[in-house]
Amino acid sequence: MRVAAATAFLLAVATTTAGQSDAIDVADGSCGRGAMIAVLGGARVYASCERDGSESVMHISVTNLSDPSEGALRGFSIGFCGSDIISASAPTGWIVTIDPEKNDANWSVAETVPEDLVDGVGVPSHARMGGFDVRLRAGWRRSRSAFAQWRDTAFGRAATHDCPRVR
Protein backbone atom coordinates (compact mmCIF):
# COMPACT_ATOMS: atom_id res chain seq x y z
CA MET A 1 0.00 0.00 0.00
CA ARG A 2 1.36 3.42 -0.90
CA VAL A 3 0.39 6.56 0.94
CA ALA A 4 1.23 10.08 -0.18
CA ALA A 5 1.82 12.55 2.63
CA ALA A 6 2.28 16.26 2.08
CA THR A 7 4.29 18.21 4.59
CA ALA A 8 7.23 20.42 3.64
CA PHE A 9 7.96 17.75 1.04
CA LEU A 10 6.13 14.85 -0.61
CA LEU A 11 6.83 11.57 1.14
CA ALA A 12 5.42 8.32 -0.18
CA VAL A 13 5.45 5.69 2.51
CA ALA A 14 5.25 1.98 1.77
CA THR A 15 3.94 0.17 4.83
CA THR A 16 5.82 -3.06 4.56
CA THR A 17 8.41 -4.98 6.48
CA ALA A 18 10.29 -5.82 3.28
CA GLY A 19 13.96 -4.96 3.58
CA GLN A 20 13.83 -5.04 7.37
CA SER A 21 15.14 -8.60 7.73
CA ASP A 22 18.74 -7.48 8.31
CA ALA A 23 17.74 -4.83 10.85
CA ILE A 24 17.34 -5.66 14.51
CA ASP A 25 14.77 -4.48 17.01
CA VAL A 26 16.27 -2.55 19.89
CA ALA A 27 15.02 -1.51 23.29
CA ASP A 28 16.53 -0.17 26.49
CA GLY A 29 17.91 -3.51 27.63
CA SER A 30 19.12 -4.72 24.22
CA CYS A 31 20.87 -1.72 22.68
CA GLY A 32 24.60 -1.78 23.21
CA ARG A 33 27.23 -2.21 20.53
CA GLY A 34 26.50 -0.90 17.06
CA ALA A 35 23.82 -2.65 15.02
CA MET A 36 21.75 -1.88 11.93
CA ILE A 37 18.29 -0.86 13.14
CA ALA A 38 16.61 0.16 9.87
CA VAL A 39 16.86 -0.51 6.15
CA LEU A 40 15.04 2.25 4.27
CA GLY A 41 15.54 1.93 0.54
CA GLY A 42 19.14 3.01 0.01
CA ALA A 43 19.59 4.17 3.60
CA ARG A 44 20.95 2.04 6.43
CA VAL A 45 20.51 3.35 9.97
CA TYR A 46 22.90 2.10 12.68
CA ALA A 47 22.75 2.66 16.44
CA SER A 48 24.71 1.97 19.58
CA CYS A 49 23.69 2.91 23.10
CA GLU A 50 25.31 3.78 26.37
CA ARG A 51 23.89 4.41 29.84
CA ASP A 52 24.07 7.82 31.43
CA GLY A 53 22.66 7.34 34.91
CA SER A 54 19.07 6.16 34.55
CA GLU A 55 18.93 7.38 30.93
CA SER A 56 20.28 5.97 27.68
CA VAL A 57 21.97 7.81 24.84
CA MET A 58 21.45 6.28 21.39
CA HIS A 59 24.25 7.21 18.98
CA ILE A 60 23.01 7.01 15.40
CA SER A 61 24.80 6.95 12.08
CA VAL A 62 23.28 6.63 8.62
CA THR A 63 24.74 5.31 5.36
CA ASN A 64 23.47 6.46 1.98
CA LEU A 65 23.81 3.56 -0.47
CA SER A 66 21.50 5.08 -3.08
CA ASP A 67 22.51 5.79 -6.64
CA PRO A 68 24.34 9.14 -7.03
CA SER A 69 21.47 10.32 -9.27
CA GLU A 70 19.22 10.33 -6.15
CA GLY A 71 21.45 12.97 -4.58
CA ALA A 72 22.42 13.34 -0.96
CA LEU A 73 20.31 11.86 1.83
CA ARG A 74 18.63 14.88 3.35
CA GLY A 75 16.52 13.39 6.08
CA PHE A 76 15.53 10.35 8.08
CA SER A 77 13.31 9.53 11.00
CA ILE A 78 13.05 6.75 13.54
CA GLY A 79 10.09 6.04 15.82
CA PHE A 80 9.86 5.10 19.47
CA CYS A 81 7.05 3.45 21.43
CA GLY A 82 5.71 5.89 23.97
CA SER A 83 7.04 9.33 24.84
CA ASP A 84 10.45 8.35 26.21
CA ILE A 85 12.46 10.79 24.09
CA ILE A 86 14.12 13.42 26.29
CA SER A 87 16.17 15.24 23.66
CA ALA A 88 17.98 14.76 20.36
CA SER A 89 20.91 16.39 18.57
CA ALA A 90 22.43 16.31 15.09
CA PRO A 91 25.50 17.54 13.22
CA THR A 92 25.75 21.21 12.23
CA GLY A 93 23.24 22.17 9.55
CA TRP A 94 20.75 19.41 10.40
CA ILE A 95 17.40 20.21 12.03
CA VAL A 96 16.04 17.93 14.77
CA THR A 97 12.29 17.55 15.26
CA ILE A 98 10.68 15.46 18.00
CA ASP A 99 7.02 14.83 17.26
CA PRO A 100 4.17 12.64 18.42
CA GLU A 101 3.00 10.21 15.75
CA LYS A 102 -0.64 9.96 14.64
CA ASN A 103 -1.94 8.31 17.82
CA ASP A 104 -0.01 10.72 20.11
CA ALA A 105 1.11 7.76 22.26
CA ASN A 106 4.29 7.19 20.24
CA TRP A 107 6.98 9.66 19.23
CA SER A 108 9.53 9.98 16.46
CA VAL A 109 12.79 11.86 15.92
CA ALA A 110 13.31 13.39 12.49
CA GLU A 111 16.68 14.67 11.31
CA THR A 112 16.50 16.87 8.19
CA VAL A 113 18.63 19.27 6.17
CA PRO A 114 17.18 22.50 4.71
CA GLU A 115 17.01 22.45 0.91
CA ASP A 116 19.72 25.09 0.50
CA LEU A 117 22.21 23.05 2.59
CA VAL A 118 21.64 19.55 1.14
CA ASP A 119 24.69 19.59 -1.14
CA GLY A 120 26.94 20.81 1.68
CA VAL A 121 25.78 18.85 4.74
CA GLY A 122 23.54 16.03 3.44
CA VAL A 123 24.90 12.46 3.32
CA PRO A 124 26.40 11.96 -0.17
CA SER A 125 25.85 8.73 -2.08
CA HIS A 126 27.99 5.87 -0.71
CA ALA A 127 28.96 7.80 2.43
CA ARG A 128 28.22 7.37 6.14
CA MET A 129 27.56 10.13 8.67
CA GLY A 130 27.34 9.95 12.45
CA GLY A 131 26.78 12.52 15.16
CA PHE A 132 23.03 11.97 15.63
CA ASP A 133 22.16 11.34 19.29
CA VAL A 134 18.87 10.65 21.06
CA ARG A 135 18.60 10.79 24.88
CA LEU A 136 15.93 8.39 26.19
CA ARG A 137 14.21 7.60 29.50
CA ALA A 138 14.73 4.18 31.08
CA GLY A 139 12.52 1.45 29.62
CA TRP A 140 12.35 2.89 26.08
CA ARG A 141 11.57 0.78 23.02
CA ARG A 142 12.11 1.66 19.34
CA SER A 143 9.24 1.09 16.95
CA ARG A 144 9.75 0.04 13.34
CA SER A 145 8.30 3.33 12.13
CA ALA A 146 10.93 5.12 10.03
CA PHE A 147 11.59 7.01 6.80
CA ALA A 148 14.43 8.30 4.66
CA GLN A 149 14.41 11.23 2.24
CA TRP A 150 16.43 12.20 -0.81
CA ARG A 151 16.09 15.46 -2.80
CA ASP A 152 13.06 17.77 -2.44
CA THR A 153 10.45 15.18 -3.30
CA ALA A 154 11.55 11.84 -1.98
CA PHE A 155 10.16 8.57 -0.91
CA GLY A 156 10.86 6.44 2.08
CA ARG A 157 9.84 3.10 3.43
CA ALA A 158 8.38 2.52 6.84
CA ALA A 159 7.60 -0.76 8.54
CA THR A 160 4.15 -1.30 10.00
CA HIS A 161 3.94 0.27 13.44
CA ASP A 162 4.50 -2.41 16.08
CA CYS A 163 3.97 -0.63 19.40
CA PRO A 164 1.30 -1.85 21.80
CA ARG A 165 -1.76 0.37 21.82
CA VAL A 166 -2.14 2.67 24.81
CA ARG A 167 -5.70 3.01 26.08
CA neighbor of 71 nearest in space, from 39, 118, 103: 118
The 10s digit of each residue's pLDDT in 114-163 is 989 999 999 999 999 999 999 999 988 888 788 899 875 455 555 455 67
Counting residues of the chain whose pLDDT is more than 70, the rounded percentage is 74
Name the domain count of the chain: 1
CATH of the domain at 55: 2.60.40.1170
- Domain of 100 in residue numbering reads as 2-158
Does some domain include residue 57?
yes
Q: What is the pLDDT of residue 145?
A: 81
Does some domain include residue 151?
yes
Of 9-23, 68-82, 89-103, the poorest mean pLDDT is in: 9-23
Does some domain include residue 167?
no
Of 27-41, 55-69, 76-90, the poorest mean pLDDT is in: 27-41
Does some domain include residue 78?
yes
Phi, psi torsion values for 161, nearest 5 degrees: -60, 130
Does some domain include residue 165?
no
Q: Distance between CA 44 and CA 61 in Å, rounded?
A: 8
Q: What is the pLDDT of residue 155?
A: 53
Does some domain include residue 22?
yes
Does some domain include residue 53?
yes
